[in-house]
Structure 1
């Protein structure tokens, strides 16, 4: 009887330890979506890359690897975001990392959900406590970033955005939409378009509260085939970003990439874009 009690006690202790181990493992794979720590790492500024609609982390690798090869960064990790917003970080960022890069991979790559941007920034913030971050987007990734800023501009618990790079952003619609097809910039000084898409209207509050410390680089393509577009996004739609942040951003620069390598999906494989990113973000 005594032995039986000992066995039962040992059994329940073992179960309890297994439960604790399971909880510990789960907490590493499913970080709390709330920022629970102080953002006190002011020396290192990581850069997050967000891919476009129907794409994946593969669209970010050329640019990230170019930065590493140039010596601008020495650490690249991947953040996988599930459909429910769970973030799994693959790889670790050492304390002495130089300009670490986080390649974001969205499982739900056909959604414009902005919460994914917040999910991954929060997960990394909870683990590494970065006070400032850079954001780079391609195509739909830009709208997710813009909406993230629109919804969280006054959230002091999130890291401050230092620089934003927009690549092929369809802020006023893509070529399949009326505004994206027909809209023109009616005021070059302000970037105001003559037609607003529904998505553009949703971003108009940025004109009042876009964070003033952010430096912005807007890169877009023109295949020079008569379409005045990169094949998916018109030059005018990309340029309309200026109107949303005009007079608010710390700085704003536009660069038009021309020729066959300015095609929408080729922009993230373009050496000219690589150099622009490196010079703007890390020099």
Structure 2
């Protein structure tokens, strides 16, 4: 809980300001637009006080310092709340590949810097009995081959720009089905209700084999690598696309602090000059 006093020594507090101001607790539940508006209104009120004081008389330097300190504290309060805001930056790839007792990689480039708070990845693929369903198969397209799909051969791994490797789907995570599931969309998300795996490849959101939280606090910027593998021949793994979502702090939170402090510094020069 942040608390501070403000007002002119020997004078009544100015209209709109109480003698004692106590900031509300900072919580992640505060919506981003409300956070920015609250911070803006706090800073603007304090700037109005400085202008009003300067209009009537020049305040002592001690008074000016008190007002500036109060304004900075209010701005920091807003920053503390705004720091809870975040943004999701994405990267996609749609380079088709058919893997049969082979492996390959796809690059997902994130162009924004920021300490990672959360990572999710969506992969669209098909695992079928021969033959491959090809690059033009639409979402949920069925397998052509009607035999057993040997889903146990599927492997997916994700590597961050920092070199951290997370196993998304290991060999034997799945078993197999007759016929295969065709083209599906699989989302790997630590917050999903159920772990990935079982006999059937099912579309939806599932927890990966290893937690994506291993990437937390790394810088999101750079090339991420998705590793794709089919471990045994005759039943191809078709890769269609992937989408990487990385949650990082909202850059505007820092910009807000810089703008507010810059405005307060200008007002201080006007009052004290």
State the TM-score, normalized to the length of structure 2. 0.24
The structure that is strand-richer by fraction is: 2
State the TM-score, normalized to the length of structure 1. 0.24
The structure that is helix-richer by fraction is: 1
Larger RCO, structures 1/2 (Cα 8 Å, 6+ apart): 2
Greater C-alpha radius of gyration: 2
